[in-house]
Amino acid sequence: MDIFNISLRSWEVWQIITLGVIIGALLNKAISRIRAGLLQKQRQENPFVKKIAELEESLRAASASASAQALPSPQGSLETLVLLSLFQEKGRLIDFIQRDIATFSDEEVGRVARFVHQGVNSVFRDCISVEPLASQLEGELVVLEKGYDPAVFAILRDPSPGEQSSSDSDAPPYSGKVVHRGWKIKSINIPKLIANQDEAGVAVIAPVLIKV
């Protein structure tokens, strides 16, 4: 009988503790809602507090926008990795760039360059389409009037020995011959591949090759 009474009292104690915890949680939640309601009412009634709240919201929005703009485009980064991976796979471009060719003969460099050109050219033709930027052919005369687009036309000056340039000669219009027609992107079609990563999360352009 004593053991039964002790067990019953213990159960009652646990019930009281549990009930107290539940009541405390409900009270905290109610207090939080009351505080939030009072703060919202204070913002509506007090212009100064309302203005501070608006400024805080504007700062948070500006910070989020700046962070989003600072981050690089994941798609752009992925396309770059895929393109580098294809250049390496088809033409060993990275191997060629990383190799010190100063000790190689012109004949050896020529053989390697031919292989690299074939591989890179095949990837380039499959993924990127370009066309000449200028309608004129190389060697043809062109006149650039005032207001020409410097991003499209680059001026090459080759003054004679002893000749001094003046502000009048530096001002358009310019008359000259097309040396290079330039290039512009017509279309880009890079395969949608998944870039590989190692255990540290570093992008893998080309895997380690193991001959067995």
**Domain extents in the chain:** 2-70, 72-131
Which of 206, 198, 200 lies closest to 98 in space, CA to CA?
A: 206
14-32 pLDDT, tens digit each: 555 555 556 666 666 666 6
| Farthest CA pair distance, the chain | 121
Amino acid identity, position 177: K
pLDDT band at 166 (very low <50, low <70, confident <90, very high): very low
Does residue 168 or residue 101 have the better pLDDT?
101
Amino acid identity, position 51: K
172-190 pLDDT, tens digit each: 888 999 999 999 999 988 8
Q: What is the pLDDT of residue 71?
A: 43
45-54, 77-86, 107-116: range with lowest mean pLDDT? 45-54
Which of 138, 143, 121, 135 lies closest to 184 in space, CA to CA?
A: 135
CB-CB neighbours of 54 under 10 Å = 11
Q: Is there a contact between 87 and 190 (Cβ–Cβ < 8 Å)?
A: no
CB-CB neighbours of 84 under 10 Å = 16
- C-alpha angle 155/161/164, rounded to 5°? 65
